Structure 1
Amino acid sequence: MDRSALADLLSDAGEAGAACRRALVSGGDYEVWPAPVSTRSLVRVYRRRERLSRRRGISSVGFADAVVRLDTCDLEVVLIGYVESVSPAYHFQIFLSADASRVIACLGISQEHKAPSVGPGSSPVSS
């Protein structure tokens, strides 16, 4: 998908879409995969990811709203894409209609979080 066409579609995609659009027009890496994916399976996956990121205190924009939009869009399949923002460091996930004519949902998740340290005296498993 052409960068400017995707930017145009993101102009009406809410707060996350606006931030994603800024990252895209600023030269952020992006891709939209051509193979459609089951919306139902994406809802299950992203519902879990949203809960996990919230529990871990990871900053996001539009995550819960994106899950609701996916769940209620009445489409069997959607296309998935992403845009990477360097400053601030965010990964934007984009969900488009199968014909790539509209953005169904968009979310952004901060990439500035730190993974738990693993090494002597630390444990990756909570006690």
Structure 2
Amino acid sequence: MDRHVLMRLLAGDDEASAAALAVLQSGATYVVWDRTVPAERHAGVYALRLRRMRLKGVEPLGLERAVELLRQHGRPVRGGMIESADRTWTFLLFLTEDGSTLVACAGVQRVVEKSPL
């Protein structure tokens, strides 16, 4: 998928899409896979991951909303990922089967472990 096409798809009004667009504009790497997966499968997997993250005190950006949107979508989606140039953020993308519309977006900030020294 062309970078400019993806930037156009991310031009939504939710916080996760806006953040993903900003990192994409600043040189982030990205991938959008051709394979599709049932949206319900993604919703189940990411609902579980959301619970686990919250137990660890991590609140991913827009993941709860993404899970709900995937449940509502009910059709297969194409997945994708954007990784910020500084590798501190990873954004998950879920697009319609033909890649023409963004279904959901969520971001996870990488936790940097402090060195004991």
TM-score surpassing 0.5?
yes
**Any runs of at least 4 consecutive aligned residues in structure 1 with deviations exceeding 3 A, and if so which?**
none
Match of 1:80 in 2: 79
Structure 2 SS opposite 1:33: strand
Q: Is 1:12 matched up with 2:12? A: yes
Mapping for residues 108-123 of structure 1, pairs under 5 Å: 108-114=107-113
The Cα of 1:14 is off from its aligned counterpart by 1.2
Residue number in structure 2 paired with 1:90? 89
Give the alignment's Cα RMSD to 1 decimal.
1.9
Q: Which amino acid aligns with 2:93?
A: I
Q: Deviations over 1:43-71 (max 9, x none)?
A: 11011011111111124210100000001
How far apart are the structure 1 equivalents of 2:40 and 2:64?
A: 16
Q: TM-score normalized by structure 2?
A: 0.90
Q: Which runs of 5 or more structure 2 residues have no equivalent in the other structure?
A: none
Could you list the per-position Cα deviations for residues 67-105 of structure 1 after superposition, in whole angstroms to 9, with x for gaps in the alignment? 000011132x10000001145711100000001111000
- Share of identical aligned residues, percent? 34
Q: Give the secondary structure class of the aligned counterpart of 2:98.
A: coil
Larger-Rg structure: 1
Q: TM-score by structure 1 length?
A: 0.84
- Structure 1 unaligned spans of 5+: 116-127
Cα deviation, residue 8, structure 1: 0.4
Compute the displacement of 1:38 (Å): 1.4
- Equivalent residue pairs, number: 115
